[in-house]
Amino acid sequence: MEAKDQLNKVIDNIEKVIIGKRDIAELSIVAMLSQGHVLLEDVPGVGKTMLVRALAKSVGADFKRIQFTPDLLPSDVIGISIYNPKDMEFHFRPGPIMGNIVLADEINRTSPKTQSSLLEAMEEASVTIDGVTMQIPQPFFVMATQNPIEYEGTYPLPEAQLDRFLLKVKMGYPTPKEEMEVLARVQAVAPIEELQSVIELEELIKLQQQVKTVKVDETIRNYIVELARKTRTDSYVYLGVSPRGSIALMRACQSYALLKGRDFVTPDDVQYLAKFVFGHRIMLRSEARYDGITAEEITARILAKTRVPVQRLVGQ
Amino acid sequence: MPVRNNKVFMACLYILVFFLLAEWLTPVVVLTNTGHRPLFLIFIAVALLMAFLKVPWWISGTVKILYILWFIVYVYTGAVFFTGESLSFLWEDSRQNFQALASQNWAQTTDVFRTLLFFTLLWMAVYLIHYWVNYRLSIFLFYLLTVVFIAVLDTFSPYAGNTAIIRIMVIGLLLAGLLHLARWTESHRIVLQMEKLAVFIVPLFAMIAASAAMALYLPKADPVWPDPVPFITSLSGQGGSGDGSGTASVGRIGYGVDDTQLGGSFIGDSTPVFRAEVESGQYWKIESKDTYTTKGWISAGNVGESIVYSNGQTVNTGFSPGTPEEAETALLAMDQDFPFVLYPYGTESFVTEQPLNYQYNTAIQRFETFRGGEVVEPDVYEVTFSEPSYSLTALRNTTMEDLARLPAEFDRYRQLPAELPQRVRDLAEEITESSTSVYDKTRAIESYFSNNGFEYSNTDIPVPAENQDYVDQFLFETKRGYCDNYSTSMVVLLRAIDIPARWVKGFNQGEELNTNDGLTVYQVTNNNAHSWVEAYMPGVGWMLFEPTIGFTGSASVDFDLEIDPTEPADSEMPDSPQPEMQEETEGDSTAAGQSGPSPGERVLLFIKENLGKLIWSLIGVGTLILLLYRYRQKWMPKLLIPYYRIRGGGSSSFEKAYLRLLKQLDLYGIRRAEGQTLRSYASYVDSFFGTKDMSRLTTAYEQALYGGEAENVKWVELQESWENLINLTSG
């Protein structure tokens, strides 16, 4: 079966539960295929948890959830070794991070210490406790949510840690029509319970490998680099997109191309994904905030000003 | 409701179009001597009206055909309605034309056929302009063509388009303005009622009226640039040196005695010669010459006799004066003094204040003035004359047999040099083949010059080479020249078929200064020096003929009753080229210029001499290139499609073709923003044209460029989409 068809089946499946958020579902899949993680930024109650659960169920993955609170400790996330008096040894009790798909809810409510333990696990896909390194089972996909920064009692994530998320996505409220549809569906029974898996985990891992074969032409690589460089020289920007950001954009584009049934990346992919990849990687100067400019707007401006490659590079 | 459905608005447009078409018709009618202009205008008006009312094609076609048939019947038979007779005329005529066409005997087609063709042309013009106005909402091309057409005619033909060009500017600007308004409202999907339209239209009218009025009444500066016309005409002719010999020389116009070496260019000279106060302009004869030498004219010596007339005595010039009732008197006041008097055709007597003797030499027909045995140069004299008139019947009855019976004294008017090339004689035979009477043969030769590609010019005229005949060079090689060329050639052609003829020198009527009491004062200058032809009609006498083009008067003679040959030539357009000369070749002919400067110097000299021309041609070429570049979107596709067809398949072809298409779309006006991807651009283009071609091409192009799978692209299958888009963008 074609990769595109398989992935579309997953998305269709998610859509049975989450109404009108096909793009978010697509982006989640893109992140998962790229072995990256998603930061969802939105208010509670718009269906973030439902999305992740639906995704987990659709791919038949192990689903874990961590509710972050100010008093949560790193060991509550990654697990702890407990002394067993019977055999006089320490036994490792894995924390909730050891799952395929992890929902890290309200990540900015916990202390930086706990945040960084999570982010380390995300980056390394392994945890180390008492000198023992344990691999987290693949596929491993974290979807973290955070309340918008303006809310009280939060610890904003440091820049370096934001960089570890492949995409930052805003979910947004459903339209009135969609919301009515939601009400109609949950009236009888919570539909999430009836969801069946449509793809095996092994197949998902294979797709992750296939993503790496999607062709990124030199013109496209050039285009991505050009975009990243422009974020670093923009007058409103304090810190631009790192090379890790460029890599992230390329990976995301490859996944997206696969999702769309192509074996090559086009500038359209780059343009579509740039705001999700760059949005949380651009640190604005305070002037931008006074002028009401957001990172998304800066990205859009750079996209409009950067020449799209439409012919072969000279000398090719 | 779009503007083009607004009846009032469109009616305005069609009325303007009618006036514009009328401007086309006018010069054609004037120049080709076609009559019935109002009837042609009615045809245009009816055709436009039917186009405006959107009459079904089969009705309008029938109406137009009926009108054309009626016109033919009315004009050629005089019948106002279709009678049996007129129908049989139509039938007979079409049969004749059909036969002529079938046998490819073009000369046999009748005037009716030419009329039909002209109507067809008008029909097509009306259709085209209707299409431009009604569907394209654009008139610029036609407007430009009209201006160019009138400007060219005004420059190179006797047609004077002075006011026509102003009318065209006004009509054209109004049309262009209204059509622009129509296009603008349609492209913005704005619906305007008449009163709203008026908000735009009234200022448009006011502005054009104001600017036209200002342009009309403001003083006009003299041209800053030298007149490019002589340069252009010299390019089209074969002036310069005929046969690599015969270097052009430049003389100065004016009356001279020596005519042994004709040819070469001359420059104008408006030095006054005399003023004539006379009822109507006349040709003023001085003398004639009889012997042609292959290079020019001399007078045979020792022939004829001298007759001395006294003041007021009736003279005999060999031209019988017209009726006494038409006798008139001309007063000549000389600015330059000559030892002879100038006289018009039909002269009866001369009078001066102080009595003179007029010695008339019958060999050269010159009246030399003496007093008491001494040559005098009269300042002022009066000539009584009555223009001769000829009976057409008598002229028609002249036969070649009569010529054979002429006495020997006419032989010198049939003289031709033995070296005269045979082809000149053959040409004379050929021209006069179809005419029978002497008169008709003469007329045939006279009019030969006006429709066989001859052109009037006084610059860049070569002098014949050593062994070259002056007439032969003009008739067969250069075909451009001034009165000497035409008159000499006509005399030689006449003599070649044994019609006695002589070469006459004098002045033409000159320029009107003022009129009072029925008399007009004409100023005659050196520019009016002229030469023409007299031919002998057996049984009738000598008669004036005017072969020089630009002096076309004798062509429009009414053939009914009596004919007065001098009159047409005289009363013709005063604006026609005012040539003529008879130059003292004191010019810088520099003999030959063979042993000349080095090539490098010659190039420099050439550049120096032709700096003006070079600048003009550079400007011309530059403008052409600019125009070609500006409108490349229009013509390039015509080349691109065959080019890529011939180039054939291959992925590099496809990529080049696709990039070419992007450029073409850009020129067409669909701009792609810098940051716009091909995919989104393609869907915009497709929604613009209502096609799917661009998306199809773009998918393939993406695959080739970003996917690196150029070899999988089937250019042949995409070619149709590509050509479709290229064609759409060139429309």
- The domain ranges of chain B are 3-217, 242-270+390-571, 276-288+302-385, 602-630, 632-730
Distance CA B43, CA B64 (A): 8
Average pLDDT over residues B709-720: 78
pLDDT at B597: 57
Sign of torsion, CA A300 A302 A307 A310? negative
pLDDT at B587: 39
Whether residues A268 and B680 touch (CB distance < 8 A) is answered with yes
**Closest approach of B706 to chain A, Cα-based (Å):** 5
pLDDT at B312: 80
Would an 8 Å CB–CB cutoff place B355 in contact with chain A? no
Ranking A203-212, B71-80, B263-272 by mean pLDDT, the lowest is B263-272
Whether residues A306 and B676 touch (CB distance < 8 A) is answered with no
Would an 8 Å CB–CB cutoff place A86 in contact with chain B? no
Average pLDDT over residues A3-31: 84
Please enumerate in sequence order all residues whose Cβ is within 8 A of that of B38, keeping only pairs 6 or more positions apart, or say none.
none
**Closest approach of A158 to chain B, Cα-based (Å):** 32
Query: Considering only alpha carbons, which residue of chain A is nearest residue B708?
Result: A217
- Residue B226: pLDDT over 70: no
Locus of tokens 């002056």: B470
Q: Which of residues 666-705 of B touch A (CB under 8 A)?
A: 673-680, 702-703, 705
- Residue B482: pLDDT over 50: yes
Ranking A86-100, B247-261, B369-383 by mean pLDDT, the lowest is B247-261
Average pLDDT over residues A55-69: 85
pLDDT band at A225 (very low <50, low <70, confident <90, very high): very high
Q: For A267, which of B655, B677, B708 is closest by C-beta distance?
A: B677
Whether residues A306 and B708 touch (CB distance < 8 A) is answered with no
A-chain residues within 8 Å CB-CB of B709? 264
The per-residue pLDDT of chain B, averaged, comes to 79
H/E stretch holding B393: helix B392-396
Distance CA B428, CA B419 (A): 16
pLDDT at B235: 55
Q: Which residues of B187-213 are buried (b: 16+ CB within 10 A; e: fewer)?
A: eeeeebeeeebeeebeebeeebeeebe
Please enumerate in sequence order all residues whose Cβ is within 8 A of that of B693, keeping only pairs 6 or more positions apart, or say none.
B686, B721, B722, B724, B725
pLDDT band at A253 (very low <50, low <70, confident <90, very high): very high
Whether residues A264 and B680 touch (CB distance < 8 A) is answered with no
Query: Considering only alpha carbons, which residue of chain A is nearest residue B652?
Result: A312
Would an 8 Å CB–CB cutoff place B712 in contact with chain A? no
- Residue B241: pLDDT over 70: no
- Residue A113: pLDDT over 60: yes
Would an 8 Å CB–CB cutoff place A316 in contact with chain B? no
Query: Considering only alpha carbons, which residue of chain A is nearest residue B660?
Result: A311
Ranking A199-203, A267-271, B596-600 by mean pLDDT, the lowest is B596-600
Among the residues of chain A, which ranges form H helices?
Answer: 3-15, 22-33, 48-58, 74-78, 112-124, 159-162, 176-188, 201-211, 218-233, 243-259, 267-278, 286-290, 295-305
pLDDT band at B156 (very low <50, low <70, confident <90, very high): confident
**Closest approach of B715 to chain A, Cα-based (Å):** 17
Average pLDDT over residues A45-49: 79
Would an 8 Å CB–CB cutoff place A260 in contact with chain B? no
**Closest approach of A271 to chain B, Cα-based (Å):** 8
- What is the CA angle A242-A246-A252, rounded to 5? 135
Whether residues B674 and A219 touch (CB distance < 8 A) is answered with no
Whether residues B706 and A305 touch (CB distance < 8 A) is answered with no
B-chain residues within 8 Å CB-CB of A271? 675, 677
Q: For B706, which of A220, A306, A307 is closest by C-beta distance?
A: A220
Average pLDDT over residues A263-271: 89
Whether residues B674 and A308 touch (CB distance < 8 A) is answered with yes
| Of the candidates B336, B389, B332, B350, the residue with the CA atom closest to the CA atom of residue B519 | B332
Whether residues A308 and B705 touch (CB distance < 8 A) is answered with no
pLDDT at B594: 42
pLDDT at B622: 92
Average pLDDT over residues B601-617: 80
Higher pLDDT, residue A50 or B623: B623
B242-270+390-571 sits in which CATH class?
alpha beta
Three-class HEC string of B170-214 = HHHHHHHHHHHHHHHHHHCCCCCCHHHHHHHHHHHHHHHHHHHHH
Would an 8 Å CB–CB cutoff place A219 in contact with chain B? yes
Whether the CB-CB separation of B570 and B283 falls below 8 Å is answered with yes
Domains in chain A, CATH or no CATH each: 3-207 (3.40.50.300), 212-305 (1.10.8.80)
pLDDT band at A256 (very low <50, low <70, confident <90, very high): very high
pLDDT band at B243 (very low <50, low <70, confident <90, very high): very low
Tell me how far CA of residue B153 lies from CA of A290, B68, B548, in angstroms. Answer: 71, 27, 19
Q: For A310, which of B662, B673, B707 is closest by C-beta distance?
A: B662
- Mutate: best of A266, A269, A299, partner B, most B CBs <10 A: A266
Q: For B675, which of A265, A308, A312 is closest by C-beta distance?
A: A308
Would an 8 Å CB–CB cutoff place A264 in contact with chain B? yes
Whether residues A304 and B674 touch (CB distance < 8 A) is answered with yes
Whether residues B655 and A311 touch (CB distance < 8 A) is answered with yes
Whether the CB-CB separation of A29 and A10 falls below 8 Å is answered with yes
Bridge partners, residue B332, by sequence: B276, B381
* A·B CB contacts under 8 A: 57
Which amino acid makes up residue A98?
A: M
Distance CA B548, CA B446 (A): 8
- Mutate: best of B706, B709, B712, partner A, most A CBs <10 A: B706
Would an 8 Å CB–CB cutoff place A312 in contact with chain B? yes
pLDDT digits (tens, 9 = 90+) for B639-697: 777 777 777 666 677 888 888 888 888 888 888 888 888 888 988 888 888 888 888 88
A-chain residues within 8 Å CB-CB of B655? 311-312
Ranking B338-342, B369-373, B658-662 by mean pLDDT, the lowest is B369-373
Ranking A157-171, B151-165, B408-422 by mean pLDDT, the lowest is B151-165
A-chain residues within 8 Å CB-CB of B702? 264, 266
Q: What is the DSSP letter of A16?
A: T
Whether the CB-CB separation of B146 and B23 falls below 8 Å is answered with yes
Q: To the nearest whole percent, how much of chain B has pLDDT over 70?
A: 87
Q: For B705, which of A217, A304, A306 is closest by C-beta distance?
A: A217
Three-class HEC string of B452-509 = CCCEECCCCCECCCCCCCHHHHHHHHHCEECHHHHHHHHHHHHHHCCCCEEEEEEECC
Which amino acid makes up residue A3?
A: A
Please enumerate in sequence order all residues whose Cβ is within 8 A of that of B646, keeping only pairs 6 or more positions apart, or say none.
none
Tell me how far CA of residue B603 lies from CA of B226, B231, B239, in angstroms. Answer: 22, 18, 19
Burial of B631 per CB tally in 10 Å (0-12, 13-18, 19+)? exposed
Q: What is the DSSP letter of B554?
A: G
Distance CA A30, CA A198 (A): 17
Distance CA A25, CA A7 (A): 10
pLDDT at B591: 40
B-chain residues within 8 Å CB-CB of A309? 705
Whether the CB-CB separation of B583 and B264 falls below 8 Å is answered with yes
pLDDT digits (tens, 9 = 90+) for B490-507: 888 888 888 889 888 888
Would an 8 Å CB–CB cutoff place B652 in contact with chain A? no
**Closest approach of B677 to chain A, Cα-based (Å):** 6
pLDDT digits (tens, 9 = 90+) for B386-404: 888 787 777 888 888 888 8
pLDDT digits (tens, 9 = 90+) for B100-109: 888 877 777 7
pLDDT at A250: 92
Which amino acid makes up residue A148?
A: P
**Closest approach of A187 to chain B, Cα-based (Å):** 41
Query: Considering only alpha carbons, which residue of chain A is nearest residue B659?
Result: A311
For residue B241, what are its two tokens?
A: 């040196």
pLDDT band at B1 (very low <50, low <70, confident <90, very high): low
Phi, psi of A182 (to 5 degrees): -60, -50
- Residue B271: pLDDT over 60: yes
A-chain residues within 8 Å CB-CB of B674? 304-308
pLDDT digits (tens, 9 = 90+) for B189-208: 677 777 777 888 888 889 98
The per-residue pLDDT of chain A, averaged, comes to 84
H/E stretch holding B545: strand B541-545
Tell me how far CA of residue B728 lies from CA of A120, B573, B694, B731, in angstroms. Answer: 59, 51, 12, 6
- Rg (alpha carbons) of chain A, rounded to whole number: 20
Angle between helices B140-156 and B229-236 (to 10 degrees): 90
pLDDT at B151: 84
Distance CA B389, CA B544 (A): 11
Distance CA B711, CA B634 (A): 32
Distance CA A295, CA B535 (A): 101
